[in-house]
Amino acid sequence: MDVPFGTMSVTESSKKLIAQILDSGRLTSGKYVREFEQRFAELIGTREAVAVSTGTDADTLALAVIYDYGAQRGDEVIVPALSFVATGNAVLHAGFSPVFVDVEMDSFNIDPARIEAAISERTVAIMPVHLMGKPAEMDEINRIAGEHDLFVIEDAAEAHCSKYKGRNIGTLGDMAAYSTYAAHMISTIEGGIITTNDMRYAEILRSLRSHGRACNCADCVMNAGATYCAKRFVDGKDIRFNFERIGYSCKMNELEAAVGIGNLEAWPQHLASRKKNLQYLLDAFKQFAPDLMTFRIESYEEIGPHAFPIIVGPTAKFSRDQLVSHLSAHRIDSRHMFLSMPTQCPGFAFLGYKLGQFTVSEYIGEHGLHIGIHQDLNLSHMEYIVGTLAEFIKKHA
């Protein structure tokens, strides 16, 4: 049996819409991008959403908004040490300095008890990551941010449709940045999107994604295909060529939006399938402790599952590489877990962190992996995964 890590869903309605878009000749960012934004915002429960070309761009632009509120280049943003490298990259791309905080072993998310010690007079924001779709402890993070007058930007790249204490992830900070990459529940092939309840933030985001131009209306001539814009000419100048801030070039195109619209229609089925797969593995994994560990799910949270994390326990008589080789031999695809960005990713060495500063993140980076639980897998796949793991554990008992 083949168990692929990820899947790419292009629905029949998306295929029809793509054909219409190709026939129209209007392929760059337009009315379908705007439709995707509106429908995504409605799903998450925010007033606005702004689509961009990648999830990394979503992180970067959300951070860049802060410059309009007094931040300076080189100011600091607190992030978890353990995440996909895009989180740290985005902080640097936005012109800030990442300050890393270790994570909790049972959640893989930033440890709130360590955040305040990382705050300095140059700190402007906290960017918690909801890793694998598991919500970070947002109440405590928001409390700390409120006491220190900091922005909170959720990195919700993998947390589509997750909930924390009855509230949707994506609504719990000033902004939230999602990835809509191929393996994610709501995909546009490549892409990202930022949600917010602040309409001013949304205007700045639309400016930032298009070189910082002053043309930033939600339904302007560049975004929704209108034929006339009463705001275009101000004092004899074309607003489309007035650049108010340092910006980026990272718009989503119409074809990607069409794929996203189809996946928004299909997300209830995708979510239900992923939740069933997640729950089955959570229940089954109890038999593998302490050799194999995974995250703990709290009663007050719901996970919009991205993948299933597995950590080889410290007393196990086998290595991660041995486990991965066994899974691969049985055609179960896997990925190594993310690394401690500041101490296990050479690209961040210039920041001066030393191995041993983030012991939990480093352990997970050395001993963790994750496997797929997406909507194209079913109960028989989950049973096969558990049986394959049980065979391996018994062999190494």
Mean pLDDT, the chain, as a whole number? 95
Mean pLDDT of 41-63: 98
- How many residues are recorded in the chain? 397
Q: For residues 98 and 125, what is the distance between their CA atoms, to the nearest angstrom?
A: 10
Instruction: Report DSSP letters for 69-106, one per residue.
Output: GT--TT-EEEEESBS-THHHHHHHHTT-EEEEE-B-TT
Q: What is the pLDDT of residues 105-118, one digit of tens each?
A: 999 999 999 999 99
Q: What is the pLDDT of residues 8-51, one digit of tens each?
A: 899 999 999 999 999 999 999 899 999 999 999 999 999 999 99
Interior angle at CA 29, CA 229 and CA 63, nearest 5: 95
Give the three-class secondary structure for 15. helix
Q: Which pLDDT band, with edges at 50, 70 and 90, does 221 fall under?
A: very low
> Is the CB of residue 110 less than 8 Å from the CB of residue 103?
yes
pTM: 0.95
- Dig out the tokens for 312 from the structure: 């080889």
Q: What is the pLDDT of residues 250-282, one digit of tens each?
A: 999 999 999 999 999 999 999 999 999 999 999
DSSP state at residue 128: -
- Dig out the tokens for 26 from the structure: 């209007």
Segments of the chain assigned to CATH 3.90.1150.10:
267-395
State phi, psi for 90 to the nearest 5 degrees.
-65, -40
State phi, psi for 328 to the nearest 5 degrees.
-60, -40
Q: Which of 374, 361, 294 is nearest to 85 (CA)?
A: 361
Question: Which residue spans within the chain are E strands per DSSP?
Answer: 48-52, 76-80, 97-101, 123-126, 151-155, 163-164, 167-168, 175-179, 192-196, 233-234, 237-238, 292-293, 301-302, 308-312, 334-336, 368-371
Q: Which pLDDT band, with edges at 50, 70 and 90, does 240 fall under?
A: confident
- Out of 220-229, 279-288, 298-307, 375-384, pick the least confident: 220-229
Mean pLDDT of 384-395: 97
* pLDDT at site 223: 53
Q: Which pLDDT band, with edges at 50, 70 and 90, does 294 fall under?
A: very high
> Is the CB of residue 305 less than 8 Å from the CB of residue 277?
yes
Q: Which pLDDT band, with edges at 50, 70 and 90, does 226 fall under?
A: low
Amino acid at 201: Y
* pLDDT at site 238: 73
State phi, psi for 73 to the nearest 5 degrees.
-60, 135
* pLDDT at site 218: 75
> Is the CB of residue 347 less than 8 Å from the CB of residue 322?
no
DSSP state at residue 23: H
Q: Which pLDDT band, with edges at 50, 70 and 90, does 315 fall under?
A: very high
Give the three-class secondary structure for 68. helix
Segments of the chain assigned to CATH 3.40.640.10:
12-259
Q: Which pLDDT band, with edges at 50, 70 and 90, does 133 fall under?
A: very high
Domain topology for 12-259: Aspartate Aminotransferase; domain 2 (3.40.640)
CATH code, residues 267-395: 3.90.1150.10
| Residues in Cβ contact with 302 at an 8 Å cutoff, skipping those fewer than 6 apart | 161, 162, 163
Report the phi/psi class of residue 389: left, alpha or beta, with left for phi > 0 and alpha for psi in -120 to 50: alpha
pLDDT at 191 over 50: yes
Q: Which of 90, 181, 165 is nearest to 127 (CA)?
A: 90
